[in-house]
Chain A
Amino acid sequence: MKLKELEGLLQDVTVFDEPKIHLEQYATTPHLASRMLFTAHSVYDDIENKIVADFGCGCGILSIASNILGSSYNIAVDIDPDALQIANDNCSKFELSVDFILTDLTSNPLAVEVANNAVYSLHKTSTREHILKKAKEWGVDCEILAELKFDIPNMYKFHKKKSVDIQVDFLRIAK
């Protein structure tokens, strides 16, 4: 599968119709989602025939991309039942199997504790120092794979500008 092909397929993923402010719901675009998963797959071989968990999955675009690239078992978790409903409908549309669970991750173990192999994450670049310090505490390697511009469109009433680009680190923690 080519990157462009994956990105094209992801255009059909439905996203939040009414994003919730208190959950800071910002949909990951097909452009970013395809590049993130394509990197994990083609550079690190972390997707095909692997078990993939998606913590805070929203409408499920990352799990869907992972499933398209051949992960053998996907589990995805979110605290918002409306997002999970959309995510589940997305999977039916794509005829993919992802098991969704409605739960509160703040009372569950951290991804770095659960994963056997690697954790991928997005963080605001301004928090990089903190993340790297944490990685050191946990005794894991943290590699910044890319600096992305996360395009946040004007979707909440308190947003004054038309859209803002937020600097975001795409990182990989290896265990």
Chain B
Amino acid sequence: MRLITHNMLQCHVKGCNTNNFPLELSEIEYELQETEFNPQFLRNFVPKLEWDALVRTAMKLGITTLPDKLPDTPIQEIDEKFLKDLHRVLLETHIQQGRMTCPNCQHVYPIKDGIPNMLLNENEV
């Protein structure tokens, strides 16, 4: 799972509706895998991102290349350097092992061999 996907996952335990995002990463092992740089895709995707959550999550992995605040230049004019850093974080950083914990209900979603397990027990659905 890449960080782009993590940026969309929230806790879905029954009744856990507030403060359930982002799922907090711990005991993480990750790999970098190069992939083709597609600036237009990134430009289109930036407005869909939860930026604060992404920056905080990246920091947790020791990645400090992203600015705290999104540049306030129009998206079409954002510079390549920023987009390349974002590409690295969003699309090339693959979480292989670890845990994701809901900040609200503390439910733990494990990540094994790159695949997050979002299944719940019957009493949590």
Residues of A at the B interface (CB closer than 8 Å) are: 49, 72-73, 75, 79, 81, 84-85, 88, 97, 99-104, 107-108
Contacts and interface: CB of A to CB of B under 8 A. Distances in A.
Contacts of B33: 97
Would you call the interface of chain A mostly helix, strand, loop, or mixed? Answer: mixed
Interface in B1-24: 1-2, 4-5, 9, 12
A101 B1 contact: yes
A99 B118 contact: no
B91 A107 contact: no
A88 B91 CA distance: 16
Given A72-B41, A97-B35, A107-B12, A102 B1 contact: no
Contacts of A97: 2, 33, 35, 91, 94
Contacts, number: 51
B114 interface: yes
B112 to A, nearest CB: 8
A85 B113 contact: yes
Interface residues of B, number: 23
B5 A101 contact: yes
A88 B120 CA distance: 22
Interface string B77-118: 000000000000001001000000000000000000111111
B115 A101 contact: yes
Nearest to A85: B113
A81 B118 CA distance: 11
Given A97-B91, A102-B115, 19 more contacts: A73-B91, A84-B115, A97-B2, A97-B33, A97-B35, A99-B2, A99-B4, A100-B114, A100-B115, A101-B5, A101-B115, A101-B118, A102-B116, A103-B119, A104-B119, A104-B120, A104-B125, A107-B125, A108-B12
Contacts of B114: 88, 100
B26 to A, nearest CB: 19
A49 B118 CA distance: 27
B38 A102 contact: no
B113 A72 contact: no
Contacts of A85: 113, 115
B40 interface: yes
A49 B115 contact: no
Contacts of B91: 73, 97
Contacts of B40: 49
A73 B35 CA distance: 11
B109 to A, nearest CB: 9
A96 to B, nearest CB: 9
B118 A103 contact: yes
A103 B100 CA distance: 14
6 contacts: A88-B115, A100-B1, A101-B115, A103-B119, A104-B125, A107-B120
